[in-house]
Amino acid sequence: MTVHYTVWQSLDRVVRMFVIIIELVIIILILSLVIGVWIISQLSKRLNQPLTALTDSTQDLIQKPKQSYHETLTVPTNPEEVQELGDVFNTLLGSLNDTILKNQQFISDASHELRTPIAVILGHTELLEKHAADHPEIIQESVGYIDDEAHQMQELVTSLLALSRSTKAEAELTTVDVVPIIRTVVAQYQQGQQVVMKLPEKLLIHANAGQVQQILTALIDNARKYSSVETQVTVSAKRESENTVAITVADHGIGISDADKAKIFDRFYRADQSRSKQVAGYGIGLAIVRQLVELNDATVDVKDNQPAGSCFVIRFKSV
């Protein structure tokens, strides 16, 4: 005899339990998503705040109506990466500001130097227009003044062009023997003030031969301008160390004060105006020297000569 049992059980509770679990999971997911988005948003704002502050500082600087070209960006202290970025921006900004200020000063100085000869030419031109017919004796004198000032303007413009070229120039550096270069330059000064040489037989440097010649010519011209005809200008060269060759141009002239030594390579600067105002030139030659020296990976310094005068020392990389 076989007995069969049939058991019936309601699943409503199980279904409701699963529904509740699913609803809880969905609610938890939604809450997690909302809370997660909010937390990420807050963290993002906190992390981006230094960059935002740096951007705002840049925008404020751009929109500033008047700039002194000494401004810097406000750099956050944290995080370290943003601080480093801000410091790099300030370094770049400082370099650009320095270039702008130098260009402004250059334009101002050039305008000042040109103003005097232009005023003289205009003055004598007006004089000729008004009085030449009645006083013909003034014509030759006025034309002489006009001619002198025109030549000075031509010299200034030539110097400015040379300075501009030296600023934009590039140098192809090779191994050159500096001794024959010095001899060639000194050979140009056969008349007037004596230029003597103290040189070894051979001295190799890493430089551009043409620009080395320009540097030496400018320094010898400068030495002759500021020293008496009765004194000598000495050009010497020697190996200072295994990696350095020093070329010295020394004179026994008026010398340069310690305060002026740091400025004489600036454009249009002339040391001791009271004593140098009678000397021809515009204070551009040494600025060109500095530009060419830097192009040749060299250095230039000035020191006192004994018992009087100055020594300009250019140090090149030796070969």
pLDDT tens per residue, range 145-159:
788 778 777 777 776
Q: Is residue 144 located within the same domain as residue 265?
A: no
What is the tens place of the pLDDT at every residue in 31-74?
A: 989 988 888 888 777 777 777 777 777 777 777 777 777 777 77
Q: Is residue 164 located within the same domain as residue 229?
A: no
Q: Is residue 84 located within the same domain as residue 210?
A: no
Q: How far apart are CA 219 and CA 223, in angstroms?
A: 6
Q: Is residue 122 part of a domain?
A: yes
Q: Is residue 313 located within the same domain as residue 194?
A: yes
Residue whose C-alpha is closest to residue 88's, from 75, 69, 106, 97: 75
Q: Is residue 150 located within the same domain as residue 188?
A: no
CATH of residue 161: 1.10.287.130
Which of residues 140, 168, 196 is at a domain's end?
168
The b-or-e profile of 121-142 (16+ CB within 10 A means b, else e) is beebeebbeeeeeeeeeeeeeb
What is the tens place of the pLDDT at every residue in 290-316?
A: 888 888 999 998 888 888 888 999 999
Of how many residues is the chain composed? 319
Q: Is residue 137 located within the same domain as residue 90?
A: yes
Higher-scoring residue by pLDDT: 254, 156: 254
- Alpha-carbon torsion angle 134, 140, 146, 152, nearest 10: -170
CATH of residue 275: 3.30.565.10
Range of the structural domain that residue 254 is part of = 174-317
Which of residues 168, 187, 216 is at a domain's end?
168
- 8 A C-beta contact, residue 251 and residue 236: no
Which of residues 168, 184, 200 is at a domain's end?
168
- Residue 275: predicted pLDDT: 43
Q: Is residue 64 part of a domain?
A: no
Q: Is residue 61 part of a domain?
A: no
Q: Which residue type, as a one-letter code, is found at position 259? A: A
Q: Is residue 158 located within the same domain as residue 185?
A: no
- Residue 312: predicted pLDDT: 92
Domain count, the chain: 3
Q: Is residue 203 part of a domain?
A: yes
Q: How far apart are CA 46 and CA 169, in angstroms?
A: 48
Q: Is residue 163 located within the same domain as residue 180?
A: no
